[in-house]
Amino acid sequence: MKNKSIALTTLIALTFGFVGTAIAECTNDVWNKVMSRGKVVIGVKADYKPWGFRDSDGSLVGMEIDMAMDVGATLGVEVELVPVQSSNRMQFLEQGKTDMFIATMSDRDDRRKIVGIPQPNYYTSGTNIMSPKALAFKEWEELRGRSVCGKQGAFYNKIVTERYGVNIVAFTGNAEAKQALRDKKCVAWVYDDSSIGSDLASGDYDEFEMPLMSEDDNPWGLAVPLAENDCIFGRFMSGMVFNWHQSGQLIEWEKKWGIKPTAFLANYHENYKDWLSN
């Protein structure tokens, strides 16, 4: 009888998914799993140049892959990279399909309720559009009522819809969305300014421009399971990011991958500077 009611309570608790948050002390399940199997499974992007993408031989490369590799090297474990998308990265982590992810995610309040986002943030980006030079947009307001291609899972789709009445046509992948823009099915492609910047720099989008002021600058965060954010895993990742900032590693990677230098990283580097170093 007692067993039955415990089983029932567990079932209800599992159904409503508050087990992880209700238990205060650390079990470090995922951390221990990573250590005992000698492998960490990290979700990364595969279609987001230059943070995570496939190079000509099909292997995953990019700034976030370098970060992931460094995590593995520091832990002394093997790294398995799993390509994730904006619309499934949090679910993969929750289901245990990945142990953590570094996948260009903007650090948002509602996302922190689902996954653990250890501080500090490692990058930042704002929202902007890529649009044809021929249309010469100058203001966000000019997009009202127009069809703008977007990517499913981006948080700013909602913001620009509500703020400017833009009609977002959201595709599952970046490639499809950008193809639709080239096919002139929409007047612009709304995305992270950093990614658009690197697309424009690649020379494949000569007849396009990034004409507007970026909006909603939002720092990025990597993620660990929510239950382990205040435990070993989360604390360890905080240390990793802190070190990347302090040592200037992030700025170096930024340079290596041809990303426009950001004030965000320079400021962090300055603030976290070791006072004993010259």
Partner 1 sequence: MIETITSFFLQLADDYPRWNFIFFYDSFQWWRLVGGLKMTILLSIACVLLSVVIGIVGAWLQGSPRRWVRLLVQGYIQFFRNTPPFVQLLFFYFALGQITPTITGPDGWTEVPLISNVGWAIISLSFFAGSFNVEIFRAGIEAVPESTREAADSLGFSRFQSYVELVMPLAFRVSLPALNNNLVNLIKTTTQAIGIAVPELLYECVGIWNDYPSALYPTMTVLFFVFIILVGILVAGMHKWEKSMQIPGYGAS
State the residues that interact with partner 1 by CB under 8 A. Answer: 16-18, 21, 86-87, 90-91, 110-111, 113-114, 132, 134-135, 147, 149, 152-155, 157-158, 169-172, 176, 179-180, 183-187
Q: Could you tell me which of 150, 151, 175 has the C-alpha nearest to residue 54?
A: 175
The residue among 77 and 169 lying less far from partner 1, judged by its C-beta, is 169
Q: Rounded to whole angstroms, how far apart are CA atoms 254 and 150? A: 25
The residue among 14 and 213 lying less far from partner 1, judged by its C-beta, is 14
The CB-of-161 to partner 1 minimum distance in angstroms stands at: 9
The residue among 57 and 183 lying less far from partner 1, judged by its C-beta, is 183
In 83-133, which ranges are continuous DSSP H helix?
89-95, 109-112
Q: Rounded to whole angstroms, how far apart are CA atoms 274 and 264? A: 18
* Cβ proximity of 224 and 158 under 8 Å: no
The CB-of-210 to partner 1 minimum distance in angstroms stands at: 16
Residue with tokens 């899972």: 153
The CB-of-205 to partner 1 minimum distance in angstroms stands at: 15
10 Å Cβ neighbour count for 41? Answer: 22
* Cβ proximity of 151 and 192 under 8 Å: no
The CB-of-262 to partner 1 minimum distance in angstroms stands at: 25
The residue among 30 and 187 lying less far from partner 1, judged by its C-beta, is 187
Q: Rounded to whole angstroms, how far apart are CA atoms 30 and 267? A: 33
The CB-of-132 to partner 1 minimum distance in angstroms stands at: 6
Q: Could you tell me which of 167, 172, 201, 173 has the C-alpha nearest to residue 186?
A: 167
Contacting residues for 108 by C-beta, under 8 A, at least 6 apart: 155, 218
The residue among 119 and 147 lying less far from partner 1, judged by its C-beta, is 147
The CB-of-237 to partner 1 minimum distance in angstroms stands at: 20
In 19-155, which ranges are continuous DSSP H helix?
19-22, 29-37, 63-75, 89-95, 109-112
The C-alpha angle 235, 239, 264, rounded to 5 degrees, equals 120
- 250 DSSP β-pair partners: none
The CB-of-13 to partner 1 minimum distance in angstroms stands at: 10
Which strand (E) or helix (H) includes residue 79?
A: strand 78-84
The CB-of-183 to partner 1 minimum distance in angstroms stands at: 6
* Cβ proximity of 53 and 46 under 8 Å: yes
The residue among 100 and 250 lying less far from partner 1, judged by its C-beta, is 100
The residue among 39 and 108 lying less far from partner 1, judged by its C-beta, is 108
The residue among 115 and 250 lying less far from partner 1, judged by its C-beta, is 115
